[in-house]
Amino acid sequence: MNILIVDDERMPLEYLKRTVESVLKDANVVGFMKPSEALEHARSLEKSGKDHIDLAFLDVEMGGMNGLQLAKSLKEIYGKINIIFTTGYSQYAADAYAIHACGYLMKPVSAEAIKEAMEYLHHPVARHPEKKIRIQTFGNFEVFANNEPLKFSRSKTKELLAYLVMRQGARCSNSEIIAAIWESKVDSKALQNQFRHLVFDLRNTLKSINSEDIIVKQRGTLAILPNKLTCDMYDFLAADVDAVNKYMGEFMAQYSWAEFTNAYLEQIVR
């Protein structure tokens, strides 16, 4: 289940996100403080055609765009999205139910209230295929398959995957990747041969966990499919509160070529 939470105050947002995750342990929960950013996230998912939002918890009173307005916009994107309002005030209940909300919960929202509200969703929730791969980029780069560390036979194979993750789905030419991960060496036929072995090794490593489809190889380029994995960096860029809080100023610390991206992430949190 994909869940969206929007509240323009950080502490209530973080509290509700933790509570929802404690109740719906298998859900993918994304939080936003700005309604406009939440709406843009929803539009990007709808445009991709590969995912959608099942349920949204919306604060009623927010600056710029209130929760009722945001709910109407979300319903224009997803006709069958479930909406639950959260608020410290009771006077908006009639307006909330007028746009067919599934619930109207008073803050602070308890786990019991969430469990009860889940019994009254208007639209059935489709099961989304689990993403087998989880990527950690904050601190050192690490890869987990089904919550277990993925073993790589070569350190350069892991570095190749790290570079593709950093590029967020952009097509990277073979020469670009070689220049990055062998920065001190001059490109040569021998180096290109090593690179081909790395690509072969990476694909075999991913094939061992039935995830070789996350890599796209085409016309001398490689790319990763971001929607097929979870990644703290991608969540950070989507303004997920937990991901933002986990960033401590280090990004793929073992790779020198990641320094520019780290500098960019630091600018965002300032």
**Per-residue pLDDT, 80:** 86
Query: Tokens representing 199?
Result: 């690509």
pLDDT surpasses 70 at 126: no
CA-based nearest residue to 60, from 48, 47, 52, 69 = 69
Q: What is the DSSP string of 50-95?
A: S----EEEEESS-SSS-HHHHHHHHHHH-TT-EEEEEES-STTHHH
Please say whether the dihedral angle defined by the alpha carbons of residues 206, 209, 212 and 213, taken in this order, is positive or negative.
negative
CB atoms < 10 A from the CB of 69, how many? 15
What's the whole-model pTM score?
Answer: 0.60
CATH number for the domain that contains residue 224 = 1.10.10.10
Sign of the four-CA dihedral 151, 30, 169, 167: negative
Condensed to tens digits (0 to 9), the pLDDT of residues 216-250 reads 998 899 999 998 899 999 989 888 888 888 999 99
Token pair recorded at residue 149: 């560390």
Band of pLDDT at residue 93, cut at 50, 70 and 90: low
Which of 84, 144, 89, 75 lies closest to 114 in space, CA to CA? 84
Same domain (yes/no): 72, 39: yes
Question: What is the C-alpha to C-alpha distance for residues 93 and 103, in angstroms, rounded to an integer?
Answer: 9
pLDDT at 97 over 70: no
Contact present, 27 and 2 (Cβ < 8 Å): yes
Name the strand (E) or helix (H) holding 15: helix 10-23
Mean pLDDT of 67-85: 91
**Assigned domain for 126 exists:** no
137-176 exposure pattern, b = at least 16 Cβ within 10 A, e = fewer: bbbebbbebeeeebebeeebbbbbbbbbbbbeeeebebee
Q: What is the number of structural domains in the chain?
A: 2
Q: Which two tokens stand for residue 220?
A: 């001398």
Last residue of a domain, one of 61, 84, 118: 118
Mark which of 75, 95, 118 sits at the end of a domain: 118
Type of residue found at 21: E
Q: Flag whether 127 is in a domain.
A: no
Exposure of 36 in the CB half-sphere (CA atoms within 13 A):
2
Same domain membership, residue 255 and residue 159: yes
Inside any domain, residue 57: yes
If pLDDT is split at 50, 70 and 90, which confidence band does 270 have?
Answer: confident
**Which residue, 58, 91, 118, sits at the end of a domain?**
118
Flag whether 64 is in a domain.
yes
Same domain (yes/no): 151, 240: yes
Answer whether residue 236 is part of any domain. yes
Residue 27 confidence class, pLDDT cut points 50, 70, 90: confident
Assigned domain for 125 exists: no
Token couple for 211: 């995830």
**What CATH number does the domain containing 64 carry?**
3.40.50.2300
User: Which is more confidently placed, 56 or 268?
Assistant: 56
The yes-or-no verdict on residue 127 having pLDDT over 60 is: no
Judgement on whether residues 171 and 224 belong to the same structural domain of the protein: yes
Question: Which residues fall within 8 angstroms of residue 191, CB to CB, at 6 or more apart?
Answer: 178, 182, 185
Question: Are 203 and 92 part of one and the same domain?
Answer: no
12 shares its domain with 85: yes
Q: What is the domain range of residue 30?
A: 2-118
